[in-house]
Amino acid sequence: MCGICGLVNKQGQPVDRQLLQDMTAMMMHRGPDDDGYYASGPVGLGFRRLAIVDVAAGQQPLANEDESVWVVFNGEIYNHQQLRHTLESRGHRFRTQSDTEVIVHLYEEKGIAGVDDLRGMFAFAIFDLRRQTLHLARDGFGIKPLYYRDGSDVFAFASDIRSLFTLPQERPALRLQSLWDYLTFQYVPGQNTMMEGVYRLPPGHYLTVQDGSQTLHQYWSPRFRPDASRSLDDYVEGVAHHLKRAVGSHLQGEVPHGALLSSGLDSSLIAALMSERLGRPEALRTFSVGFEGSNPDMDELAIASRTAAWLGSEHHSVTVSARTFVDTLPRMLEWMEEPVADPSAFGLYFVTEVAAGYVPVVLSGEGADEVFGGYPIYHEPLSLRGFSVLPVGLKALLVRLARTMPYGMKGRSWLLRGTTPLERRFVGNAQVFSEEAKGLLLRLDSETGWPVTSFAHTDAIYRSTQDLDDVTRMQMVDLSTWLPGDILTKADKMTMANSVELRVPFLDRDLFEFAAAIPTRDRLAKGQTKYVLRTAAQRWLPAEVFNRPKLGFPVPYRQWLRGPLRPLLQESLASLDPELFNAAEMQRMVQEHQQGVRDHGRALWVLLTFALWQQIWLKGVRSRVPHLSPRVEVRRRRTESGNGIVLPNWPERRPRESGGVVVGSPIRQVEEGVRSGVEARVWGAPGGAGAVSE
């Protein structure tokens, strides 16, 4: 896991070396162990490293044999050994054992189309010196982030948005359409971000930058292809086989791995497979989080502790108070970079803050619900299927009847949802504000412009999946929107804030390709979600674990909004622009929530998250400076005392001339070389000189 960035000066002027270093330094938390840079004429690449694979020799930027192809890479390639053997048999020579070098030689062999051969989580940039072409690529599910800006003079990219705003005259500005979509989804879906002119590279795509223009290509996308010809037993055995292999491949690296452990099936199963693979239960460290004041039925710590005891792992947990949560919330939103109003994101922050003191890598259960059908709402098409045979007139009568029923009355929601087409009923796991409610909340007119309906993000998915049943179409919506926009965004941002790499074996591409064939009858069976996965899990977990309902680090935010979070809520909503937000509508929601008249917890959390985010990112209330978690130093001290990994003594990287490209020393003394009249520089400092910590 690392941070990458770079820029291309469109007018051809040489890269500003200090600017490149400033962009890279903003991602110190992504790579506390090393930094490196490459500059050739108008193109520059920057890199921060969290050393995991080939710790001693895996520095970046990294080049091919003749240094005509350069790469910076964030993530892990789990099939790099197989690819290496194939490439070596075709005459390619490797200098390191790192997975990064495989990308370089694969590019030599197949061009950028070789990205489809990679299995893993990744975002990388390749600069082809001969063709003067830059390629950016991102993994098929969107596990690793990559953002870019295309200005009139400069094209820039980075793992973090913050790096893009080190460029001169660049200031964050709100994109109104993104705000409109955020209010529905609780995150910004698609290629756009909340900031005008900042884009994310979509999952399964690569972007080619050449001669001042960009071309976007899709190389892969997840797709369910149900096959009812196979038996349930075949699917159970196949899932067990592929999942075991996936966990094994996700344990690659020269550092210890831990597991995030909630109370549910997914994380428990990953932890159990890790323990089996390691061979010694005590070699596995597990980490859990709970929140003060949680409903006993929603408190995961006791259940997770019992699972850890059953596994025999070395278990660590933390209980977060409301006061600590309130005090830390602005910092967590600063790390998030975009408003993602998923309260469970902050559970990830606190649990990996603990993990950061012990391990640099954790495995977790993200993706299982989207792949195997784990959300309870996936049962809805089955419970509502009776409505499909009703005449149109009767449905219209039921709609009118439901709207006369008091809010919260039993049957009201069922009638409304049953008479609403799937395409308007389900836009993903979160649908907070309706189009009508957003019209009441925001003050829009012909001058501000009216945004496009947020259904546009899901309509295309529904059009392309008309051959699938409704449950599978819902899963396709979640795979395409909710998974990359919410689940994987929060997972990356909150763990990397603590310099911890999070790996997600359930999103192994080979596992997905197998699971994508499981028919709905086996995904949802006997009243259970994820039926095939639960059945496969029985060989590794006791019934108490594989039959548990899903919780996922729940935060008691609904109660806290009536108590310890109330002052912050009122203050934050008051800071919103009254020319854009309807203050009376927001106060109505606050009062109804406080009085228990109606539960507006999720909607208020969406508004609070946005209000705090805009204070940080648009109004500059907090200064965004490079920061390294103090827990990283704790981990290093444990390393030195023999309680963790042992990093090598970094070799001194003395300036060396090689075909016109020169590698710099740890003190950043930069020698200059010339290749075909184009100045090229590479420099870096193991440990990242100038690190800042609290």
Token pair for 455? 């259904």
Active site residue 5: no
Phi-psi region of 293 (alpha: psi -120 to 50; beta: other; left: phi over 0): left
- Cα 326 versus chain centre, distance: 23
What's phi and psi for 59, nearest 5 deg? -65, 155
Selecting among 2, 198, 311, 603, the annotated active-site residue is 2
Do you know the residue count of the chain? 694
Instruction: Say how far apart CA 224 and CA 372 lie, in whole Å.
Output: 11
Report the alpha-carbon distance of residue 347 to residue 533 in Å, rounded. Answer: 25
| DSSP at 13 | P
Helix (H) or strand (E) run with residue 235 in it: helix 232-249
Beta bridge partners of 218: 205
Burial class of residue 173 in the structure, from the number of CB atoms within 10 Å of its CB (0-12 exposed, 13-18 middle, 19+ buried)? exposed
Cα separation, 487 vs 374, whole angstroms: 14
Q: Which residues of 19-54 are buried (b: 16+ CB within 10 A; e: fewer)?
A: bbbbbbbbbbbbbbbbbbbbbbbbbbbbbbbbbbbb
Q: Is residue 151 a contact partner of residue 204, using CB atoms and an 8 Å limit?
A: no
Q: Give 222's contacts (C-beta < 8 A, 6+ positions apart).
A: 140, 141, 204, 479, 480, 512, 516
- With beta carbons less than 8 A apart as the criterion, state whether 294 and 332 touch: no
Q: Is 219 helix (H, G, I), strand (E, B) or coil?
A: coil
d(CA 115, CA 79): 12
In terms of Cα–Cα distance, which of 622, 626, 630, 634 is closest to 694? 630
Nearest in space to 428 (alpha carbons), one of 369, 479, 492, 489: 479
Instruction: Name the nearest CA neighbour of 266 among 539, 526, 537.
Output: 537
| Cβ neighbours, 10 Å, residue 645 | 18
What is the DSSP pairing of strand 69-77 with strand 62-63? antiparallel
DSSP 8-state class, residue 28: G
DSSP of 527-595: TBSSHHHHHHHTTTS-HHHHTPPP--S---HHHHTTTTTHHHHHHHHHTS-TTTB-HHHHHHHHHHHHT
CA distance 281 to 315: 11
Per the DSSP assignment, residues forming a β-bridge with 663 are 656, 682
Closest C-alpha among 61, 69, 58 to residue 110: 69
Q: Are 287 and 355 in contact (CB under 8 A)?
A: yes
Tell me the three state secondary structure of residue 171. coil
Output the furthest CA–CA distance in the chain (Å, rounded): 81
* 183 vs 189: CA distance, rounded Å: 11
Q: Are 254 and 53 in contact (CB under 8 A)?
A: yes
The token pair at 391 is 């005449």
Whole-number CA gyration radius for the chain: 25
Which are the catalytic amino acids?
2
